[in-house]
Chains A and B, each alone.
Chain A
Amino acid sequence: MKGYKNCIIKVDLSSGNIKKEHLNADYIKRYLGGEGYGIALLWNHMPLDADPLSPENLLSFNTGPMTGTPAPSASRTSVCFMSPLTNTIGASNMGSHFGAELKFAGYDTVAFTGKAEKPVYLLIDNEKVEIKDASSLWGMDTRETTEAIKEAEGHDIKVCCIGQSGEKLSSLACIFSDDCFAGRGGAGAVMGSKNLKAVAVRGNGKVEIADTDAFKIAFKNSIRELREEAYTWGPVHGYGTPAWVGGADDFGILPTRNYINNKFEEIEKVLPYNLWNNTDKYKMTRRTCYACQLGCHKYVVMGDVEVGEMEYESLAAFGPRCGVSDYESICMAGYYTTIYGIDSISGGSTISAIMEWYEKGIITKEQTDGLEMNFGNGPAMVEMLRKMCLREGCGDLYADGSFAAAKKIGGKAMDYVMAVKGMEISATDPRGSSSMTISFGTSERGACHMRPYAATIDAFGYLYPDLDITEPKDPFSDTEDKSWLKALKECFVVTNLAGICDFNVINTEMKPSTMAELYTAITGVEIDKYELLRTAERTIALERAINYIRGFRRKDDRLPKRFMTEPATGGPPAGRVTDMEAALDKYYEACSYDKETAVPTLEKYQELGMMHIAEKVYNLIKQDA
């Protein structure tokens, strides 16, 4: 089958054994590739009760069938693992040029088990695959590591690596590649736990396409669909995702001061135009991932500091969420997350929790190394972040995120943790979007705004006729039918399976049927949009099964109580709280999930051809009963 390279590299870091095998055809048929393939590896090839930081954890880098083709934004790699942050499945998706290069080298997936005796990196140079000593790289930051490997292996090599936070096993640590990140869930800590500093790849091959004429037609259709959407091809194309911070504030969905508020009174100061117009201080350039049509990345240099990518989530996390309005501090925070390698969303959210704990007297200066952690104190935010990244002093307490810190602090600390399944919520206030209540709550990897970014439909009124979303939805109704949300989530997950960026669908741009046409043209295997969505439904069902086995239930799909008890303070959602239970019931009904256990019903598993999965889950359910 074209599109795939039909080869997986399996590396046992304990023994140093490296094997190349054909892809499992059954996994491809059921789960398509990418994240689906990585989750199937977890289910089939590791003990499901494994500690995420133990050698048993299976860490895989999975491309999809479209990765490395000219399809729009076909750059993506899904990193799959058991998450040290959430203890659920981990699935973190990154762009850059790494995934395409892996395909050009002849591989779809590279999977790691075990733990190396000393720091190593994996070099993949076309057919040659070898484990190399990384002792001299240990202690380097992400950019230094990348440069050192390029110096050693050649500047055309593509690198993904961890910084000091990954080495120090921070549950917030991410994987860095060309200033792109597999950011969420602590994949960087899993690399660190395996003494795996980096993976470097060079490929001189190409990804063959089965039907180039059909591909050209599907490609033209996809480009037209992308460019017809005014927001993505307007502000985001021009200015990057920070463009949205003003809109989020205007519509009252911008989390401010740890979600106490949903609008920021100093919004004018953090509008990205302040950054772009201050050309004496800041230099901005556009960067793109492989095959990207959009170019949402905006690379910032502040004086002598190469800040790196400044995007909406980072700006919102270190700006309004912490009550900070000075760009210098926000940029410095972005710089530290980049070089030390931690997730900016969880990093900013953890600091906003620290600020609320500090202001409420739950922690004192003894637990902040004397820093005045009041909301709005930018320099204190930056210094606390640095300490967290390096586990220095009090930073050790917070380095694994707000949920882990609250458990250690005790008292009322947990009341102010804005996280689901231990993962901090990102920059959309769900009180302004009922569908985001569900997205954050039910995301299998912990609070995730891209599973799906559903505010587009209910809060901003977009329709998606190709997905049968033809009527406007009510952002304030938790009791409205949520079947559209099931379809939208599957559409987003398909992008992770196929290896394209979910910005292709974030504002209902690319039709699922066009994605199916692209897949058919690339692979030569005919598929329609319904079967494409079904591969995502199976992947989600498998993730739910793994999470159930690891102890996750309906209660873990709930948002923090703040959203159910404290009304939104401004803008269109002012006065609104979320009815979590009603929303969950509606969503579970739409997905055919059992309302108690939050896993697909036996009938649904049967319909999906997954009774071998269901058997294990339902045996456990019987035991629990």
Chain B
Amino acid sequence: MKVKVRLTGLLAASCGFREKTVELPNDFTIAEAITFMNIPVSGVWTKSSVNGSLKNKSYVLQEGDELYLFPIGGGG
């Protein structure tokens, strides 16, 4: 299935793109997509939204979804 993936911050910098359509195996969860795309983070500190709504990492992606992954954090 094709999913449009948007990344920001260190996620984008380390993967080399901010926006790209990615071919994923069917019924992949967001967590599986993060691993599949070799994004070098655990996902714990990454929020995800699909088609504009926040989703947890167990959400099963669908053909044509727009997945947006962004870090959540800041300094101290």
Contacts and interface: CB of A to CB of B under 8 A. Distances in A.
21 contacts: A231-B72, A234-B72, A244-B75, A250-B41, A251-B71, A251-B73, A253-B10, A311-B76, A432-B10, A433-B10, A453-B75, A456-B75, A460-B8, A460-B9, A460-B10, A460-B70, A506-B74, A571-B40, A571-B41, A572-B40, A573-B10
A246 B70 contact: no
Contacts of B71: 247, 251, 459-461
Contacts of A189: none
Interface in A35-61: none
Q: What are the 8 A-B residue pairs with the smallest beta carbon separation, nearest first?
A: A312-B76, A461-B8, A241-B76, A461-B9, A572-B14, A247-B45, A247-B73, A572-B10
Contacts of B11: 461, 572
Interface in B34-75: 40-42, 44-45, 47, 70-75
Nearest to A453: B75
A403 B45 CA distance: 35
A472 B9 contact: yes
A569 to B, nearest CB: 12
Given A244-B74, A246-B44, A459-B10, 10 more contacts: A236-B76, A241-B76, A242-B76, A248-B73, A251-B73, A460-B72, A461-B9, A472-B8, A474-B12, A474-B13
B44 to A, nearest CB: 6
A507 interface: yes
B74 A460 contact: yes
B10 A252 contact: yes
Contacts of A311: 76
Interface of A: 230-232, 234, 236, 241-242, 244, 246-248, 250-253, 296, 311-313, 427-428, 432-433, 449-450, 453, 455-456, 458-461, 472, 474-476, 506-507, 570-574
B76 A475 contact: no
A476 B74 contact: no
B14 A573 contact: yes
A102 B50 CA distance: 51
A169 B46 CA distance: 44
Contacts of A474: 12-13
B18 interface: yes
Contacts of A472: 8-9, 12, 18
A251 B45 contact: yes
B12 A232 contact: no
A477 to B, nearest CB: 8
Contact of A250 (B45, B70, B76): B45
A275 B21 CA distance: 42
A236 B73 CA distance: 9
B30 to A, nearest CB: 16
Interface of B: 8-14, 18, 40-42, 44-45, 47, 70-76
A461 B72 CA distance: 9
B1 to A, nearest CB: 26
A231 B41 contact: no
B27 to A, nearest CB: 26
B12 A456 contact: no
Nearest to B70: A461
A574 B40 contact: yes
Contacts of B13: 474-476, 572-573
Contacts of A236: 74, 76
Contacts of A313: 76
Given A232-B74, A244-B75, A251-B45, A459 B9 contact: yes
A251 B41 contact: yes
Nearest to B69: A461
B10 A507 contact: no
A433 to B, nearest CB: 8
Contacts of A449: 75
Contacts of A507: 74
Contacts of A572: 10-11, 13-14, 40-41
Given A231-B73, A571-B41, A251 B12 contact: no
Contacts of B8: 460-461, 472
A475 B12 CA distance: 9
Nearest to B16: A476
Contacts of B73: 231, 244, 247-248, 251, 460
Contacts of B9: 458-461, 472, 475
Contacts of A252: 10, 40
A317 B9 CA distance: 25
B36 to A, nearest CB: 17
Most buried by B among A247, A252, A449: A247
Given A252-B10, A460-B10, A573-B10, A506 B75 contact: yes
B47 to A, nearest CB: 7
A582 to B, nearest CB: 16
A312 B10 contact: no
A604 B42 CA distance: 46
A261 B13 CA distance: 19
A95 B14 CA distance: 37
Contacts of B40: 252, 570-572, 574
A458 B71 CA distance: 11
Nearest to A458: B9
Contacts of A574: 14, 40
Contacts of A475: 9-10, 13
Nearest to A251: B10
Contacts of A570: 40
Contacts of B41: 250-251, 571-572
Contact of B75 (A246, A455, A458, A571): A455
Contacts of B18: 472
Contacts of B45: 246-247, 250-251
A343 B44 CA distance: 31
A93 B8 CA distance: 32
A461 B17 CA distance: 13
B75 A312 contact: yes
A574 B10 CA distance: 11
